[in-house]
Amino acid sequence: MKKLNIKKSFTNMNFRKGTYSAGISAIVIAIVVVINMLAGQLPENIKTIDLSNQKYYTVGKTTKNVIKKVKNDVTVYQLATKGNSDSQIKKLLNNYKSLNSKIEIKTLDPEKQPGLVTKYGASNASNNSIIVVSGDRYKLVDYNEIYQTDYSDYYSSGNTSKSFDGEGQITSAINYVTTDDLPKMYNLTGHDEQQLSSIITDAIAKQNIETADLNLLTSATVPEDCDILSIVCPTKDCSKEEADAIINYLKAGGKVIMVMSYTGTETPNFENIMAEYGLELGDGYVFETDGQHYYQTGYYVIPEVGSCDITSSLSGNMYALAPMSRAIIKKSDARDTLTVNEILTTTDKSYSDVDYGNGMTQDGNNTKASDDTDGPFSIATAVSEKVDDKESKLVVFGSYAMFTDNVVGTFSLINTDLVTNSLTWMSDKEASTVSIAAKSMDVSTNTIAASSANIWTAFTVVFIPVLVLGAGFVVWMLRRKA
């Protein structure tokens, strides 16, 4: 029996090769472990690539500008029970953390910390809601405000649209808790003013604009803390004293947004406010005859969107719907210090129906009368004027109906954006007004016509296999001859 030489087995070539291979493997494994450890310390926005269609986890320029200005500690809680945190929200939150070290992300389990949940008024909040806290200020963003369902097309097509508003809601909340001087808008009352759609008032709240009512019959002047004064479809006229108070506010660099309508009541004092800034209302309702610029009837105008600061951030299908609108006309004697921009305009085929309904037919069309005024018209106009180191700004919309639930809650339009963008443009505290659109979660489908489908089927099922077989046959023949 041959004796095994153990000592020699540790010195032969095979052992040395094996030892070398094992050492190299150990070094490679160590390098991989170190690289993984270092990669784990990288910011989320570097180590994660957002491949989602709408970039749900990626934050935009507005958010980056807001977050880089945060100087106080901010804690963002994701309200979730163990194992039930929403991964999409979590990925988005980690991107916020990577932008500023002052932001800390935590998961708050309502079952384990009910006291903290109650402290921030989140006892009835949905799972995966967000609580943003900085010092003594906090803001709750409910899960249903992050994942939104739009029923605007439901009655016409039976379809709903879903969107993800995580970035918009979270950035707005962070901006709210870290900003002490928020813009304030007063809503004028006392003249049977109408209400904007709740969709629009929710959007204004998202902008972190505080609101309060103002009755100039009990307050002789516009308050000093008024950043914007809102006048929404008054059905009664104001007094001369009230109009003078508003004009004086504007002359001192004030900001006013007016939503007017044809109510059947004369409002000369309200119109004097507009006249002071070179505008006047046309008589009757605007009627559009261009078939591409109205919906069902010429009184429901689909206007052209002008180019100005208010519309510059809009993109995509920019459709507005302005039912029952009055024309807004620039006065010939307007002073040259006024800068006037038309936000929405009708076509040159439109006219102002002075005697509304008198010439209307059963199909909703209208017969133009001799005293009707030819278009085109502006139906939304912005005016500005430099006042020393300040700037007076006035925005007038000629349609109240375009801001009601029947319109903004039924159609996918830019009507709400026109209001929020106007408020952002008017606010001197622009850094405090955050407006970020929600990102669509609808799945886009590519529909191919039947003829095209047949061509592509033939190409992939017949042509490509024949081509491959033919190439193979040619190679076989060449090799055979060789």
Check residue 467 and give its pLDDT.
Answer: 85
Establish whether the linkage from the previous residue to 223 is cis, with ω within 30° of 0.
no
Query: Is the pLDDT score of 239 beyond 90?
Result: yes
pLDDT per position as a tens digit, 14-45: 656 566 677 777 788 888 777 776 655 555 55
Q: Cα-flanking dihedrals φ and ψ of residue 325, to 5°?
A: -105, 145
Question: What number is the average pLDDT over the span 320-332?
Answer: 95
* pLDDT-above-90 percentage for the chain: 48
At which residue do the structure tokens 């004369």 appear?
Answer: 266
> Average pLDDT of the chain?
85
Structure tokens at 477: 């023949």
Q: Which domains does the chain have, with CATH numbers?
A: 49-148 (3.40.30.10), 184-426 (3.40.50.880)
CA distance 308 to 181: 27
**Which is nearest to 400 in space by CA: 196, 238, 257, 203?**
196
For residue 213, the surrounding DSSP H or E stretch is: strand 210-214
**Beta 74-79 vs 103-108: how paired, if at all?**
parallel
pLDDT for 119 equals 92
Taking the CB of residue 205, how many other CB atoms lie within 10 A of it?
13
The pLDDT value recorded for residue 59 is 80
**Cα atoms in the Cβ-side hemisphere of radius 13 Å centred on 376:** 15
pLDDT at 362: 47
pLDDT reported for residue 443: 59
pLDDT at 359 over 80: no
Map residue 180 onto helix, strand or coil.
coil
pLDDT of residue 263 exceeding 90, the answer is: no
Cα gap 233→123, rounded to integer Å: 38
CB 226 within 8 A of CB 252: no
Instruction: Give the residue-averaged pLDDT of 170-194.
Output: 92
Half-sphere exposure of 402 (CA within 13 A, CB side): 31
Quickly state the pLDDT bin for 160 (edges 50, 70, 90): confident
